[in-house]
A = this chain, B = another copy of it.
């Protein structure tokens, strides 16, 4: 580990932040719900590594909560952005990069006949829902209970400032539960516009679940039978488990619309909606736009990132290294008498402890991991990148060995 010079005292910087920013840091990057000592502000990022403002180095298993898939500051992507910025970026109209990116996506993702670019994952899921309603002229949208589809009033997980009408047409089902899904469909009656479903179940605090083939095929059939749009929320999974939609790998099912963000441009700001021909007219009728949505440099970043993901066949590499991490952690846990619950795709791991209702074990373990230079999350899924090589996994497992030993010694 190569620590850097401290540029701030952590507590002082957070105190300054709390004076001028709600909660100091808001949203998913606020660490207040984790144990004290989790770093809040960072000064440097490179490959799989982060340095906090005190100069301490960490192997980062959050990867920008998924935005970084090739490794931070990946030269090929940064060079594409630099080249693009020399010519143009955010203008009065798009550059040809928008057409090139859309064509690349049409050639890459099976169900995709067209692409619509935005900035947030929430933009993408919202555009999918609006397109579904415009296409069907119906209103009801089904979503899994507690599934995260973004932070707009119709979907934000914390309802402060949200009115009941914002969700008047949302009906909730249980992920992977056909009976619960059918009940929601029945409730929608003849007003079913669409179904939104996560690539896999990745809710905070609980085990992840891969979709069952039976469930996925049932969702597809109901949408085919009713004309409702099948919307796949790929924001967290997209291109991390497959070079196509993740359901192509998991269950062999293609959606009508899919929402993407995070991994697609290695941290450069872009999200997209992909759709099949059937929904193109509706996507042409809705109005959605944003000040920076046509900027060229994130599109150049996306083109380079997607081609590099393809060249490296990155989903396979992430799965392999993720399985090495998972098996290593299981062995170490067993050595010290602990039992882990490691769920979801190996590239997007969730790490919980068995018999740990108040997360005492998970919090203790993650705090020890931080001390040993590894940033693990005690209750949110994590992400691997191309920079999490075998060497890095070995180093991570050494840190885990020490962390389990400290847990055992402390009697946690």
* A residues neighboring B (CB under 8 Å): 7-8, 13, 16-17, 19-23, 25-29, 31, 39-45, 50, 52-53, 60, 62-68, 72-73, 78, 85-96, 98-99, 102-103, 105-106, 113-116, 119-123, 126, 129-134, 139, 151-154, 156-158, 160-163, 165-166, 168-169, 235, 261-262, 267-269, 271, 280, 282-295, 298, 375
Cα distance A269–B23 when bound, in Å?
A: 23
| New A-B contacts (12) at CB < 8 Å, excluding given A120-B291, A269-B291 | A20-B106, A21-B114, A21-B115, A22-B284, A25-B98, A26-B284, A29-B94, A41-B98, A42-B94, A43-B88, A134-B161, A235-B291
Q: Given A103-B20, A113-B20, A119-B119, A291–B261 Cβ distance below 8 Å?
A: yes
Q: A160 to chain B: which residues have CB within 8 Å?
A: 130, 134, 282, 285-287
Q: List 22 A-B contacts (CB under 8 A).
A: A17-B102, A21-B114, A21-B116, A22-B283, A26-B116, A26-B284, A27-B287, A27-B288, A27-B293, A28-B289, A42-B91, A50-B93, A67-B292, A68-B91, A73-B85, A73-B88, A130-B160, A153-B154, A156-B287, A161-B286, A163-B168, A168-B168
Residue of B27, B261, B267, B295 near A267 (CB, 8 A) is B295
A118 to chain B, nearest CB (A): 8
Cα distance A161–B133 when bound, in Å?
A: 5
